[in-house]
Amino acid sequence: MTNFTSRFLSAPDGLRLHARDYAPGESTRLPIVCLPGLSRNARDFHQFALLLSQDALSPRRVIAFDYRGRGLSARDENPANYTIATECRDVIAVCAALGISRTVFVGTSRGGLILHIMAAVQPDLIAAAVLNDIGPEIAAEGLKEIRDYLSSRAFPATIEAAADALERLHGPSFPALVRTDWQDMADAIYTRTGDGHLIPDHDPALADQLQAVDFSKPLPTLWPQFDLLAQKPLLVVRGDHSRLFSAGTLERMKTRVPGIETTAAEGQGHAPLLHHTSLFPQVKAFLDRQ
């Protein structure tokens, strides 16, 4: 692909990190930095980044991030470093290395949790944010589903087989998706080993972290950090079939901060595809105002 540049940069502890840089050339607009979910990577944002960086009227620079242990970023020998706080420091370091002092963030799932922490430790970096199917409180039911899915360690033989498996598993929550969407999702999730086998493109140690979660206790929340994040222009997207980000949590966010903007991803679960034709216009309208 020639529509982005791979950037390799160092984390504060020296680990090699990767990000895709969709730079449209001359643009005076604030860049957009995209942060993926727990086990996902920069490829999740490819279509979204192309739409923004190649917009005919107002192209934007888009950076799509691979956290440590995902995509083309190096795996950490110490899995204890796979934390939201560490990943937040990594994102801040990469932005600094790329000369970005203020940006609009798009955070999907874990990416949105990182933004809650960033609002507390480096708020000036955040000009505005899109929270994609995430808030300061997550539902245990949805997190258990992610735990079980990551622990299954399925290894499909082909991308077509991977797309079939994803559609069987997630199809009921994503009736809005078509076959090409499932193929794109499979391409984003899986990578090929040297001998041609497909494997999920993340460190398996991420699943071990979720296995250690004690679901007999309430999950921690980030309401004080949300109050800080919501001082910025904020768009909150919720998949209308999401089981990780409840409608009740969204309502509490709106009650707490009446000024936030919200939109529903119709026919999608966790986490919505932001480039989907039914959702992208609302997201782009918010970004165009930033």
Mean pLDDT estimate for the chain: 94
Question: Please, are residues 41 and 188 in contact by the beta-carbon 8 Å criterion?
Answer: yes
| Residue whose token pair is 């480039």 | 275
Tell me the C-alpha distance between 80 and 90, whole Å: 15
Give 83-96 pLDDT, tens digit per residue: 999 999 999 999 99
pLDDT at 195 over 90: no
Residue 1: pLDDT band by 50, 70, 90 thresholds? Answer: low
Tell me the C-alpha distance between 77 and 205, whole Å: 10
pLDDT at 106 over 60: yes
Give 251-275 pLDDT, tens digit per residue: 999 999 998 999 999 999 999 999 9
Question: Please, are residues 265 and 279 in contact by the beta-carbon 8 Å criterion?
Answer: yes
Domains by residue range for the chain, with CATH:
5-140+218-288 (3.40.50.1820)
Alpha helices in the chain (DSSP H): 46-53, 84-97, 110-121, 140-152, 159-170, 179-189, 205-211, 223-229, 247-256, 280-288
**The pTM of the whole model exceeds 0.85:** yes
- Determine the average pLDDT of the residues in 47-55: 96
Q: Which residues, 6 or more positions from 112, have their beta carbon under 8 angstroms from its beta carbon?
A: 35, 129, 131, 132, 133, 134, 135
Q: Please report the pLDDT score of residue 150 as a whole number.
A: 83
Residue 156: pLDDT band by 50, 70, 90 thresholds? Answer: confident
Tell me the C-alpha distance between 248 and 55, whole Å: 35
CB-CB neighbours of 205 under 10 Å: 16
Q: Please report the pLDDT score of residue 213 as a whole number.
A: 86
Q: Which residues, 6 or more positions from 145, have their beta carbon under 8 angstroms from its beta carbon?
A: 243, 244
CB contact burial 55-82 (16+ within 10 A = b; e otherwise): beeebbbbbbbbbbbbbbbbebeeeebb
Cα distances (Å, whole numbers) of residue 185 to 68, 137, 178: 20, 26, 11
252: tokens are: 């509490």
CB contact burial 1-12 (16+ within 10 A = b; e otherwise): eeebeebebebe
One-letter amino acid of 227: D
Q: Please report the pLDDT score of residue 33 as a whole number.
A: 98
Q: Please report the pLDDT score of residue 151 as a whole number.
A: 80
Q: Are strands 103-108 and 261-265 parallel, antiparallel or unpaired?
A: unpaired
Could you tell me which of 245, 275, 276, 243 has the C-alpha nearest to residue 262?
Answer: 245
